[in-house]
């Protein structure tokens, strides 16, 4: 898995390393996460907070996007990683559900007094 960073804000190096470690851990033993781009920048928008973080991931068969805003870029990044983890787990759960196909129906036993007689006999 390839991870690229685009940071246009003052971002604490420890939080950046922790976020990357969490994303890499999601990819351990899996081959479905191909390319991840993490974009963190400050914003001057008066209603949405001063910073935003976006994680875009090219995964097998789809693209995952996690986007969060907060006053602090580190908190926005942490929230975006939380959302990204949920998206990855959801994608994998759906894939497991579809892979199993139709589930076999349980066999119900007929009650003993259902009117069926078992013929014993001989020739």
Could you give the residue ranges of the DSSP H alpha helices within 1-123?
13-27, 73-99
Mean pLDDT confidence for 14-43: 92
The answer to whether the CB of 32 falls within 8 A of the CB of 60 is: yes
| % residues pLDDT > 70 (the chain) | 73
pLDDT of amino acid 50: 80
CA 93 centroid distance within chain: 8
The CATH class of the 2-99 domain is: alpha beta
| pLDDT digits 0-9 by tens, 37-61 | 999 998 666 665 689 999 999 998 8
What are the extents of the domains in the chain?
2-99
* pLDDT at residue 106 is higher than 80: no
Q: If we measure between CA atoms, which residue out of 31, 83, 36 comes closest to residue 60?
A: 31
Q: Tokens representing 27?
A: 């990819």
* pLDDT at residue 93 is higher than 60: yes
């Amino acid at each position: 898995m390839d991870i690229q960073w685009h940071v246009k804000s003052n971002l604490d190096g420890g939080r950046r390393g922790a976020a990357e470690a969490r994303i890499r851990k999601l990819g351990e033993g899996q081959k479905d996460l191909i390319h991840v781009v993490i974009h963190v920048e400050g914003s001057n928008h008066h209603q949405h907070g001063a910073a935003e973080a976006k994680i875009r991931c090219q995964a097998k068969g789809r693209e995952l996007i996690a986007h969060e805003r907060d006053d602090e870029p580190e908190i926005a990044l942490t929230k975006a990683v939380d959302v990204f983890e949920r998206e990855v787990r959801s994608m994998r759960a759906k894939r497991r559900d579809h892979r199993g196909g139709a589930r076999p129906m349980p066999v119900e036993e007929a009650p003993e007094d259902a009117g069926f007689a078992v013929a014993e006999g001989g020739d």
